[in-house]
Amino acid sequence: MAKSVFYHAGCPVCVSAEQEILTLIDKSQVEVVHLGEVKNRIAEAETAGVKSVPALVTPSGNVLHINFGASIEEVKA
Amino acid sequence: MAKSVFYHAGCPVCVSAEQEILTLIDKSQVEVVHLGEVKNRIAEAETAGVKSVPALVTPSGNVLHINFGASIEEVKA
């Protein structure tokens, strides 16, 4: 099975959501990407449809925006 | 382990999110509550901190608002 990708940017809302997601979903099935640290993956996240972080892109390609930490525009800045 | 509770209201965004969540998380660990059908549980959802649906309340009591289908006020109407 393809992995889900959890995009975040280190914000408090992101960290809280990450902890919850990694409790609920098998850690081996989730790749965690900190867009503040790997800015060269922001374009990939935008292409996947990520509008804000934290967000989980599922193996089927759907984007689940979870709560709201920051917009993707803010992450770029 | 306590179950997570997934609150929704039958909206397209809710149904899509439900399908994803039930793919990612073991179904036996999630209770699905349709607030449009069981309106007497709206107060419980609000007490848990649910502001909009779909939302997942985790075993630790955190609320993950997933995308946005409808506000809890709209669900009450």
Nearest chain B Cα distance for residue A26, angstroms: 8
> Of A29, A26, A17, A23, nearest to A64 (Cα)?
A17
Residues of A in contact with B67 (CB under 8 A): 63-65
Task: Find, in chain A, the residue whose alpha carbon is nearest to that of B61.
Answer: A20
Report whether pLDDT(B1) > 70.
no
Nearest chain A Cα distance for residue B1, angstroms: 11
Residue B43: C-alpha distances to residues B46, B49, B51 (Å)? 5, 10, 11
Between CA A39 and CA A42 the distance in angstroms is 5
Report whether pLDDT(B69) > 70.
yes
Predicted ipTM? Answer: 0.90
> Of B27, B72, B14, B69, nearest to B45 (Cα)?
B72
Q: Which pair of tokens denotes residue A10? A: 């280190």
Question: Inter-chain contact A24–B25, Cβ cutoff 8 Å?
Answer: yes
pLDDT score of A2? 85
Report whether pLDDT(B2) > 90.
no
Cβ atoms of residues B57 and B63 within 8 Å: yes
